[in-house]
Amino acid sequence: MPSQLHEMLLLLFRNRPALAPELLKEALHVPLPAYSEVRLESAELSDVVPTEYRADLVVLLVDGKPVLGIVVEVQLAADPQKCFSWPVYVAGLRARLKCPCCLLVVTASDKIAEWAREPIVLGPGGELIPLVVGPLGVPVIADPDRAKQDPELAVLSVMAHGRGDVETAVQIALSALAASVPLDEDTRVLT
């Protein structure tokens, strides 16, 4: 059963799918293909086999056609079984979309981020290297204007950096609060 934190982190991406490529580009410095659209895609990754594979979320970058599929997985604890399911998610999505795909793991713990970064050896000559954003990889959003442009990233910034230096934490929290003011009530509650 997913936890409240797990679901809240996923809501940030559901609310603004562009957060996934933004984290890949800004936090992880992953070069992205040109795209004109970002949309959510079905996270159902089952094949015609009895085992069901379901990712947390799939974000699709589109430029007239799919150019990159991003499997978003929120990981709050180490799970040795993920080394078997994550490659299936990426391979299944790649087969379905006929475009490059990657795995973006988002975690609230630096320890879990370190665990999730371990390459998954598929066999001789093949491995899946998860792209992982933990607290240290989340940009510090202390500027209210930047927070207003990107309230979901501002919330991630509060979650990642809100327990550190008090002055920085207060500045980040105030920026996130300022970002939430112009949002409609339902979105404000989520962020």
Instruction: Name the domain boundary from 121, 137, 153.
Output: 137
Model pLDDT, residue 87: 97
Q: Which residue has the higher pLDDT, 185 or 15?
A: 15
pLDDT tier, 145 (very low <50, low <70, confident <90, very high otherwise): confident
Position 148: which residue type? K
Model pLDDT, residue 191: 47
Model pLDDT, residue 189: 47
Q: Which residues in the chain belong to E strands, given as ranges? A: 37-41, 57-62, 66-74, 101-106, 120-123, 126-128, 131-133
Q: What phi, psi does 70 have (nearest 5°)? A: -120, 115
Among 35, 92, 97, smallest CA distance to 63 is for: 35
Strand 57-62: give its sheet, edge to edge: 37-41, 57-62, 66-74, 101-106, 131-133
Q: Do 143 and 162 have their domain in common?
A: yes
Q: Do 15 and 104 have their domain in common?
A: yes
Token pair of 173, please? 């929290």
Span 63-86, mean pLDDT?
96
Domains: count for the chain: 2
Q: What domain range includes position 38?
A: 4-137
Q: Do 34 and 117 have their domain in common?
A: yes
> Burial, 55: exposed, middle or buried (Cβ in 10 Å; 0-12, 13-18, 19+)?
buried
Q: Do 133 and 144 have their domain in common?
A: no
The model carries a pTM of: 0.74
Helix/strand/coil for 46: coil
Q: Do 132 and 41 have their domain in common?
A: yes
Instruction: Name the domain boundary from 97, 121, 137.
Output: 137
Q: Do 109 and 54 have their domain in common?
A: yes
Q: Do 151 and 65 have their domain in common?
A: no
Q: Which residue has the higher pLDDT, 167 or 157?
A: 157
Instruction: Name the domain boundary from 111, 137, 163.
Output: 137
Q: Do 165 and 117 have their domain in common?
A: no
Q: Do 41 and 127 have their domain in common?
A: yes
Model pLDDT, residue 176: 62
pLDDT tier, 34 (very low <50, low <70, confident <90, very high otherwise): very high
Q: Do 25 and 116 have their domain in common?
A: yes
Position 79: which residue type? D
Q: Do 64 and 81 have their domain in common?
A: yes
Mean pLDDT lowest among 36-45, 54-63, 71-80, 140-149: 140-149
Among 37, 32, 91, 25, smallest CA distance to 66 is for: 37
Q: Do 30 and 110 have their domain in common?
A: yes
C-alpha span between 17 and 58 (Å, rounded): 9
Question: Is residue 110 over pLDDT 50?
Answer: yes
